[in-house]
Amino acid sequence: MTPHTPEPAAPATPAAGTHAPRTVTVDGIPLSRGSRVLLRPRARGDVLDLALTGRPAEVEDVEEDTEGRIHVVVTLEADEGRHFTTGLGHRFFFAPDEVEPAGPPRKHTARLLVAGIGNVFLADDAFGPEVIAALGTGPGGLPAGVQAADFGIRGLDLAYRLLDGYDTAVFVDAAPRGAAPGTLHLIEPDTADGAGLGTAAPQGHGMDPVRVLALAARLAEDAGTPLPRVVVLGCEPLVRLRGDEPDVTVGLSAPVRAAVDEAVALLHRVAAALLADPRAALDSLLAGGRSGPCPRPAP
C-alpha cells in the first residue's frame, strides 16, 4: 500500500455549547463582530473554502469551541441574506490565520421591517396585504434598509422574523379603535417585556398581533436578542368579520380602500423618520389620524 500523508484537518464547525471570546487579534488588529476581512483559506484546505479566496466578508462572531480552538464566523458581504439571524444568510467558519483585516467596521445602518398582516378573505381585514401590494407598485419604491412583506395570517413566520436584527418594525393592519372607517392610526405597543401580552402562541394559520408579540418577546428573551421597536399602522375598518361566516368576503370597503394610498404615503414618511432615528417620535407624521399606545387585551 502506498504511504499516504494525511491532509491537515479542516477546522471543525463549533458545536453547541461553545462560547464567544468576542475578539481575536490578527496582524495586530483586533477583530470582532462587524469587522471587515478578506478570506485567505489555507492552500490545502476544503475546496469550498478555497473558492472563497479573496472574497470580502464581515465578522459575525468570534467563537471558541469545546477543544479551545478559535473560529472567526463570517458572512460574505455579497450575501443579501447576511443580516438575518434565522438562517437566511450563510455563515462560514475560518481560523484566525485564514482571514486578513480589511478596514474598519461598516457604519451601522438602520433596518426597518414593514409587515402587512390580515386575511384577504375577510373584507377589511385585508388592509395590510393591500397596502403591501400598493407599496410594490408605487414610484421610486422603498428606501434602502426597508424590507416590506405580506405576512398574511402567518403569525409564526412574523414572530421569528422579528428576531432578525431589525431596529424597527411597522405592522400594517386593520385596527378598530372607534373612529370613522378609513381613519389611520399609529399605535405603539409596549414590547419592553412580555408582561400583559399574554402567553398563548400564535396559531399556525392565524394572525393575532398580540400573540405574535408575546411569542417574539419570549423567543428574544431565550436568545438574548433585543426585539425591535414595533409600531402599528392601523386602519379603522367598516366591515368586521369574525372568520366563522359561511361565505368569504373578498375586497375592501370603500372608505378602507380609499385609505390605502394615504397609508402608502404615510409609510414613506414613517420609514424616512425611523431610518434616520429608530427612536423618533411619530405623532407629527399622522395628519388627520390618531396615535397612541396600544391598549392591553382583556384578560
In this structure, the answer to whether residues 152 and 285 fall within a common structural domain is yes
Which residue bears the cell 370613522? 180
Q: Residue 83: which pLDDT band, with cuts at 50, 70 and 90? A: low
Instruction: Work out the pLDDT band at 9, boundaries 50, 70, 90.
Output: very low
| 138 and 88 in a common domain | no
In this prediction, residues 178-200 reach a mean pLDDT of 74
Same domain, 59 and 202: no
**Is 87 a domain residue?**
yes
Residue 152 sits in the same domain as residue 54: no
How high does pLDDT run on average in the chain?
A: 80
Contact between 286 and 173 under an 8 Å Cβ cutoff? The reply is: no
Residue 264: which pLDDT band, with cuts at 50, 70 and 90? very high
pLDDT (mean) for 261-288: 87
Asked if residue 240 and residue 162 are part of one domain, the reply reads yes
The phi and psi torsions of 183 (rounded to 5 degrees) equal -70, 135
In a domain, 80, yes or no: yes
- Between CA 256 and CA 263, with CA 257 as vertex, the angle to 5 degrees is 80
Give residue 80's pLDDT.
Answer: 57
Beta bridge partners of 70: 64
Q: Of 193, 211, 210, which Cα lies nearest the Cα of 202?
A: 211
Q: What is the mean pLDDT of residues 67-96?
A: 75
Last residue of a domain, one of 79, 101, 123: 101
**What pLDDT score was predicted for residue 89?**
58
Of the residues 101, 121, 139, the one at which a domain ends: 101
Question: Computed from CA positions of residues 87, 89, 94, 97, in that sequence, does the dihedral angle turn out positive or negative?
Answer: negative
User: In this structure, what CATH number is given to the domain that contains residue 83?
Assistant: 2.30.30
CA separation for the pair 269, 84 (Å, rounded): 25
- How many domains does the structure of the chain reveal? 2
Q: Is 198 exposed, middle or buried (0-12, 13-18, 19+ CB in 10 A)?
A: middle
Name the domain boundary from 78, 101, 124: 101
CATH number at residue 182: 3.40.50.1450
Q: What is the extent of the structural domain holding 78?
A: 24-101
Same domain, 93 and 118: no
- Is residue 18 a part of any domain in this protein? no
The pLDDT, as a whole number, for residue 10 is: 40
